Structure 1
Amino acid sequence: MNRTTIQSLASAAAIIAGASFALAHGDVAPQPVDTGNLPELGEEWLTENPYRAEAAGEEVWAEAVRIGASGYNQNCARCHGLEVISGGLAPDLRFLEAEEYGDEWYMERFIHGYTQNGTTKMPAFGELLGQEAAWAIRTYIETRPDGATMEGFNDELASIRDELEAGNADADAVQARLAEIAGEIETMSGAPVADSIAYRAANQLAAGETQDRAAETLTIGLSAAN
């Protein structure tokens, strides 16, 4: 995605904001986000996501995704949709490029919000939530998997889930296959890793968590997809 795409998103936001929709965010108080496990970023607002794995390491990146998911669901999903899948009332943030252009557009809206004709369509989150929360939410958004790619693996993931639930799966073989599937699932932002259910379940098994736990992750994800 390039500057033209970002400009298109901005134009779409302006058009959407001009419409009268019941899910406008103006009357909703922003909810605090616990970012205590993330590195502090200081007072000066950054212009590029510092929590990407290549900058902060995979452990910080994974924690940012986890915290960002909570922050997004509390503050953003009402307008931008669960799993960042927009229903058409607000821009689909999954398409924001996972590099500087996308970061600039995102942070402008996050910090300052959006107001039209004196009506707040999106509150200014910057001072209320801080930039650690801002970048955690950004990290979560840019790692959303491409739903179309995911659909091609749903049947196999359901079969793997059933094996895990039965408790007779070869954990090493299943973990390896889940990792392969995860590697084939792309993001819509261009981010290198999609935080898909295959990725999560593979990591759970690699970390020694139970087969039931990995099966639960797959079940929740497959249910959401349907």
Structure 2
Amino acid sequence: MPPLTRIVLVGPPGAGKGTQATRLAGKLSVPHISTGDLFRANISRQTALGKRAKVFMDAGHLVPDELTIEMAKDRMRQPDAENGFLLDGFPRNVSQAEALDELLKTEAITLDAVLDLEVPEGEIIKRIAGRRICRSRSAHVFHVSYSPPKKQGVCDVCGDELYQRDDDSEETVRKRLEVYSTQTEPVIEYYKTQGLAVTISSLGSVDEVTRRALEALEREDDDE
């Protein structure tokens, strides 16, 4: 049986999704396809889709589902995705999940698994709200609990001031979690009804979470 290589990765802000997506894609030898990368690639190449998306992004709005879906469709048809892919940040709602199902159906392929990274809300707030960024162009990153600077409020590398981004404030994090709960958690339930979703804890070291994810995918493979 071929390994599971068509995977959707979901998880709340602060779950380490981007890090795990990159690592898992490398382990599985499939492209890591994130919505952010799709937007940037299309905009930098000035594709028709990119030009349309830029209008919304410049106005501070979310890129509409239909544009995101078209970009994902184009990306998944590239040669390097022929034997699989890891989707990160897409689908972000049930409408996108349904559209993805239709897209895959037209290509006569199916998803293998949906990997859900689970983190308690308190830990998410601690992870994100504890981040401090250096004001220098290098933007060195520290954390008040996990990787604190030697001197409070001062970057170890260049001596510049450390600050908390507005996006990292506890109030903003809670709002982001509300959006995730409203829009993306239903996606997990959607895939659970299809028997595709598998949930793992995203607590622990990066290596531990990667190992846990690969073991979960192997179990899913054995169950098929």
Alignment TM-score > 0.5, same fold? no
More strand by share: 2
Where relative contact order (Cα < 8 A, 6+ residues apart) is larger, the structure is: 2
TM class, shorter-chain normalised? under 0.3
